[in-house]
Chain A
Amino acid sequence: MEDTTVKLLGTKGSPFSHRAEVALRLKDVKFEFLHEDLAHKSDMLLRHNPIHKKVPVLVHGEKSIAESLIVIEYVDEAFEGYNILPSDPYERAMARFWARFIDDKVIPAFWMSCWTDGEIQKGFIAQSKETLTTLQRQLEGKKFFGGDSIGLVDLAGCMIAFWFAVLQEVAGINLLNEEDYPVLCRWAEDYCSVRAVSESLPDKSFLVAHFASKKEKMFATKAPLLSTKAGRPLPPPLKSNG
């Protein structure tokens, strides 16, 4: 008989793992969360994601699916129930576009704002503000990016909704605040209140401690631990927007 068990290889601290976990909870899928120690990756992780060796990896029976946005689309298509993506092709294209924008632009700019200093930091902060403003505009007239209920873009934006507050506290910057981004901050609260989300969020104090311990290391190496879509650290922002 075909093995249909579902396992999620992830870590509680990772927003990318969180995305996959929320997707499974929205669909009411029974799954086992296998916690990975990223400093000592398990054989199972290396076997199921030999290319990138990262979390999350969804193991559905014999099948392994990696890359969080791909995992979300797989869960949406493989399991019945809640619709994470819209059914209209144009709306789906828009959802995919904005999810990618979050991964390619919003997250890297904010991350680099946290772990750089001086003129370089000023450049990243300016970039980050621009990306947050652009993203916030997409919420106009809507409760969530997905409309009345959370969808692909909301899941993609989880790092903004929960992790950004922690990161900026540790880094000592104040980028995402209610005064500058009232709509985005309201969305963040609403997103975190959804049950499938709140059940998948890490403990805030754990996260603060986790990033605080990484802070020195990140400033010392000047090599922020997040790579961009192209797999390389972001260069300092150019003065003009190419």
Chain B
Amino acid sequence: MASEKGVTLLDFWVSPFGQRARIALAEKGVQYEYKEQNLVEKSDLLLKSNPVYKKIPVLIHDGKPVCESLVIVQYIDEVWSDKAPLLPSDPYQKAQARFWADYVDKKVFDCGTRLWKLKGEEQEAAKKEMIEILQLLEAQLGDNKYFGGDTFGYVDVAFIPFTSWFYTYETCGNFSIEAVAPKLVKWAKRCMERESVKTLYDPNKVYEFVCYLKKKFGVE
């Protein structure tokens, strides 16, 4: 790989993992080149930059690739440390932030996928689980403005992209997230006022994409 100076992000428009990287870069005011990837016919650049997983997002900084969205966000926070710190400086607060971002990683996407992909009893189980997850996260948020407290932070970055999937989860699961976790919905609206988050895709477009996937996988 040529040692080009600058920042490139290999990504896919609807990916909540890619959005984490985009939000972090925007919070830090970093200029970068966005390269939309074809995930069916993966580019040489993607395969070379992420030979282990062959997945997006990949951040390429001065020719060196960084993979895995939360690893990327921490990297961005450490390199561009002069502006908008995402992780707190206190080791314990940092550990808490990492724990909750890890919780989002372990739980939200997988449960959400089961919610829209499955039917019947399995879908009901996924819905119950999703409600539990959202209520736990809401309890963690408490009355704070953000998960980071007064400032938008690491857990906010980790979780906010999934809010554009809320409409999809609600429609497929036939329930209202506002009814079960109203503070979370308010938090999402607050985040959407930020310049870095405004670029998140329209929940309707996410739903359209999921409908396309359902047809593709023969789920109906």
Within 203-242 of A, Cβ neighbours of B (below 8 Å) are at: 229-232, 241
Interface residue A101 (Cβ < 8 Å from any Cβ of B): yes
Interface residue B30 (Cβ < 8 Å from any Cβ of A): no
What's the nearest-Cβ distance from chain B to residue A54, in Å? 12
Q: Which residues of B contact A230 (CB under 8 A)?
A: 106-107, 109-110
Given the complex of chains A and B, what is the CA–CA distance between A63 and B92 in angstroms? 7
CB contacts between A and B, total, < 8 Å: 64
A89 nearest in chain B by CB position = B78
Given the complex of chains A and B, what is the CA–CA distance between A153 and B219 in angstroms? 40
B62 nearest in chain A by CB position = A90
Within 23-63 of A, Cβ neighbours of B (below 8 Å) are at: 51, 60, 63
Most chain-A CB neighbours within 10 Å: which of B54, B61, B106, B109? Answer: B106
Instruction: Tally B residues with Cβ within 8 Å of A.
Output: 27
Q: What DSSP secondary structure best describes chain A's contact surface?
A: helix
Known: A60-B92, A65-B95, A100-B71. A93 touches B66 (CB 8 A): yes
Q: Which residues of B contact A229 (CB under 8 A)?
A: 105-106
What's the nearest-Cβ distance from chain A to residue B193, in Å? 30
Q: Which residues of A contact B94 (CB under 8 A)?
A: 73-74, 77
Interface residue B172 (Cβ < 8 Å from any Cβ of A): no
Known: A51-B103, A67-B99. A93 touches B71 (CB 8 A): yes
Q: Which residues of A contact B179 (CB under 8 A)?
A: none
A77 nearest in chain B by CB position = B91
What range describes how many residues of A lie at the interface? 20 to 34
Known: A134-B52, A230-B106, A232-B110. A70 touches B95 (CB 8 A): yes
What's the nearest-Cβ distance from chain B to residue A157, in Å? 15
Given the complex of chains A and B, what is the CA–CA distance between A112 and B107 in angstroms? 21
